[in-house]
Every structure is written in C-alpha cells, then in structure tokens.
Amino acid sequence: MKYYLYNPLANNGIRTEVPGAEMIDASGLDYAKFFGELKPEDEVVLIGGDGTVNYLVNHVDCENLKNKVYLLANGTGNDFLKDIGEEPGREILLNPYLKNLPTVRVNGLERKYINNMGFGIDGYCCEVADQIKAKTPNKKINYTGIAIKGLLFHFRPCHAVVEVDGVTHEYDHVWLAPAMKGRYYGGGMMIAPAQDRNSDKLTVVLYRSRSKLKALINFPSIFEGKHVEKADLTTVLTGNKIRVKFSRPCAAQIDGDTVLNVTEYSAEL
C-alpha cells in the first residue's frame, strides 16, 4: 500500500490532490505509531516542503526506517529539493537523505535538521514572519523585505564566539551565523555554496560588517553564493562540532521553525 500524508494547515491550506491515492490527514497523526505499524512493503509519500521533512526526522527513527519514503513537494520552502537538484512536481525518494543528520541543542531543545540551524537576522526574519502570520494568516510573507528592513532599522549585529572542533574564533558585527547541512536556506539563498550534504562536515558562515549599508548592498550576493568571495564580509568554517554564542539574545530558526531568546547553540554531525 502507498500512503500519502498531507497537512491541511500547511501551504496556506492548499491541498495537493492525488487521484486514486490513499490520502491521510497528518496534522494529528502519531508518526511513530503510524510508521511502526506499516508493513515492510508499504510506501509513504509526504506532501509538503522542508518543514514536513523536518517533522519526519524528529518524530521517526529514520536511521532504522524499513519503508520507502518519498517527498512530493508543494511547500513554500523547498531548499532541500533545490540542494539535491530536484524540482517540485514528482515524488523524490527521501531515504538516502534521512541518515547522518546533524543534531542541534538550543534553549533546552534537542532537534535534528535537514538544511540549517540559523542564528541572527535569519532567525529575526522568521520571528517577524510568525508575527505577521498570527495577525494575517493568509498573507504571503516577503522574507526579503523583512530582511532589508531588519538590516537597515531593526536588527543589531552581535559579537560572536564560534567554536569549531575545539578551536575558538571571535568576530564583531555578526549579522548571521548558521550551521549548514545543505547549501541553501531562506527560500533559495545559497549561503554555503561549497557545502556537501553527503559530507561528514557542517559549514558555519559568518556574515559580518560594521556598516549597515555595506551589509545591505552585499546581501543580494547571498542568493548566488557570491558573498563568500568577499573576505571582509564573510568567514566560512567547517567542522563536526559547532558552538556559536552571541553577545545578546536573538531569535534563531531550525529549518524555518523559530526559537526565541537564544544566546547560543551547538550543532554536531
């Protein structure tokens, strides 16, 4: 049997219909119980985006998954799909990508992620987006617009202490400091162009500038990964164990899921 799981609350309530398929509302589904009761020959298709895959890896033992699981992308955030060179519209086998995922620890939470642990203005953008959604649930979110306003007016860069595999680095005027499993985040920004999700390393990217105007002018270069060519703006570090501490609390995000009042996080692959 092939089961299609969909979340009626995702993607602004737009539901992807698959004619003749066994459609299951996943909004209240006990994933561990559901997958535990499947027969080995059963297959599952997740309808959604990055958040849907993140939910799976945090509610099912994917290291010992006995069934084939596919993604049929229809989410607003498809950075995972972009990273593996696929397009929405067809079923993509997920199993090869569900193992050897990093674990992040932040504010007492312990989570796995498929794309990134973000800290800084990226977390701020998710925080503001959540506030907009709470007031106007069906409004389309302009993350680029939120980032620009944050760069100019609302977000203040921080002093950051970054520890990578036991070696400590310090940086001033840091705007963001994500630990990346894939290359993309934020709906198509190639923040870590050299990162390989199949490697045994994570990439930490420090985007830093004393000047707000300089940070803003160069911000669009992140979409094509060109920011890493500017050594005065960007520092790239790689390792297995990452710890980032900011000089003041900021919002963070795990695959787009906001965590408030964060001063530090650790990520390990």
C-alpha to C-alpha distance for 252 and 216, rounded to whole angstroms = 20
Which residues of the chain carry a pLDDT beneath 70?
9-17, 75-77
Token pair in block for residue 44: 């599952």
How much is the pLDDT for 111?
A: 97
Question: For residue 186, what is the DSSP state?
Answer: T
Query: Quick one: CA torsion of 144, 180, 193, 100, rounded to 10 degrees?
Result: -140
How much is the pLDDT for 76?
A: 65
How much is the pLDDT for 21?
A: 80
pTM: 0.91
**Domain topology for 2-97:** Rossmann fold (3.40.50)
CATH of domain 103-268: 2.60.200.40
Question: How confident is the model over 97-116, as pLDDT tens digits?
Answer: 999 999 999 999 999 999 99
How much is the pLDDT for 139?
A: 81
Check: CB of residue 42 under 8 Å from CB of residue 3: yes
Helices (H), the chain: 31-36, 50-59, 79-83, 121-135, 143-149, 212-218
Parts of the chain belonging to CATH 2.60.200.40: 103-268
Parts of the chain belonging to CATH 3.40.50.10330: 2-97
Dihedral sign computed on CA atoms, order 190, 83, 57, 47? positive
Token pair in block for residue 26: 């996943």
